[in-house]
Amino acid sequence: MNTSKTKENKYNIAVIPGDGIGREVMEATISVLDALNLDFDYVYGEAGDECLEKTGTALPEETIEIVRAADACLFGAAGETAADVIVKLRQEMKMFANLRPVKAYPNTNSIRDDIDFMIVRENTEGLYIADQEKLTDEGAVAKRIITREAESRIIDYAFKYAEENGKSKVTGVHKANVLKKSDGLFREIFYEVGQNYPDIEKEDFYVDATAMYLITQPQNFEVIVTTNLFGDILSDEGAGLVGGLGLIPSANIGNDGALFEPVHGSAPDIAGKGIANPIAMMLSAVMMLRYLGEVDAADKVDNAILKLLTDAKVLTGDLGGKATTKEVTEEIISLL
């Protein structure tokens, strides 16, 4: 998950604050990045509900070009236009892998303190494809597309991720007992690709069984790889295991670009109040730093966040504290 950049390089980072609390958590995260000994050149782009109201489009071509020219993109949040923005950016940049870490942090209502796994979700096909859903006289029809090329690519990515990050097991998730052709192919490819990684344990479960196992034995998972819809659902279940969406980052990775964003949405009910939790956005930046190969800097920020949560003295309201976004940001910078 690394680029060829080194610390001598200036990084060109596309920044899309978006809507609602996206602007607040992005400002906080940029402050933390600026406290690191790295050379970032930020190029800002507009997208989201406010952009649609102002310009007539939720994702201007100019913003797409900013992302295309960048080494990586940080995205804050979008409101009602989220699908028009994020899905289109994924398609435009061919970001085939969606990464959702599920990790227990202190003082966050995690159901266990030893949860730490990655969900690797295929991002380009399955049921989430534009123009593959239509109304009929009888109701509606959606087409689910599973190709050998895309599934081989995402499964190989998951095994490589496991190999590069010290994980010893990959779990393939499907529904091959019912979707015998499409998910049957997924399971077949899972074990074909897995043969190239003899040192990594392989297992596969039906998606409904996986949903139960995430509750009853989440500590047993290390890397989960699955198709688009299943990955989307299991990712939010995973967030529930570790205290909710407020601490969950994500990454969208392709051969030509990467976008990093929190998954909490624009939260219009608290936007502008200065009380949003910026940690999910900051953890998304940590994922970006690892993608860029800046592992030491990523560890620095990660450890500062861990210390803040462990001390539990400066926490936002969603974590039981009374701190503002600014106070949390200042504390993390001091812990760096």
- Is 18 within 8 Å of 259 (Cβ atoms)? no
Residue 83 tokens read as 């699908």
Q: Domain locations in the chain?
A: 1-95+248-336, 111-241
Residue 62 tokens read as 């100019």
Residue 277 tokens read as 């939790």
From the list 33, 21, 17, 12, the residue with the least C-alpha distance to 75 is: 17
Q: From CA 20, how far away is CA 106, in angstroms rounded?
A: 27
From the list 257, 298, 291, the residue with the least C-alpha distance to 70 is: 257
Q: Kindly report the CA angle at 120 between 179 and 170, in degrees rounded to 5?
A: 80
Q: From CA 128, how far away is CA 142, in angstroms rounded?
A: 9
- Fold: same for 1-95+248-336 and 111-241: yes
- Is 227 within 8 Å of 234 (Cβ atoms)? no
Residue 37 tokens read as 């000994």
Return the number of other C-beta atoms located less than 10 Å from residue 147's C-beta.
Answer: 14
The answer to whether the predicted template modeling score (pTM) of the entire model surpasses 0.85 is yes
Topology classification of domain 1-95+248-336: Isopropylmalate Dehydrogenase (3.40.718)
- Is 27 within 8 Å of 21 (Cβ atoms)? no
What are the residue ranges of helices labelled H in the chain?
Answer: 21-34, 49-55, 61-69, 82, 88-92, 148-164, 182-194, 207-216, 228-241, 279-291, 295-311, 325-335
pLDDT (tens digit, 0 to 9) for every residue of the chain, 336 residues total?
Answer: 444 444 456 999 999 999 999 999 999 999 999 999 899 999 999 999 999 999 999 999 999 999 999 999 999 999 999 888 988 898 889 999 999 999 999 988 899 999 999 999 999 999 887 678 899 999 999 999 999 999 999 999 999 999 999 999 999 999 999 999 999 999 999 999 999 999 999 999 999 999 999 999 999 999 999 999 999 999 999 999 998 888 899 999 998 899 999 998 899 999 999 999 999 999 999 999 999 999 999 999 999 999 999 999 999 999 999 999 999 999 999 999
Q: From CA 137, how far away is CA 148, in angstroms rounded?
A: 33
Domain 111-241, architecture per CATH: 3-Layer(aba) Sandwich (3.40)
**Total residues found in the chain within this entry:** 336
Say whether 146 sits in a helix, a strand or coil.
coil
- Is 190 within 8 Å of 225 (Cβ atoms)? yes
Residue 8: per-residue pLDDT: 58
Say whether 81 sits in a helix, a strand or coil.
coil
**Residues annotated catalytic, as ranges:** 128, 175, 208, 232, 236
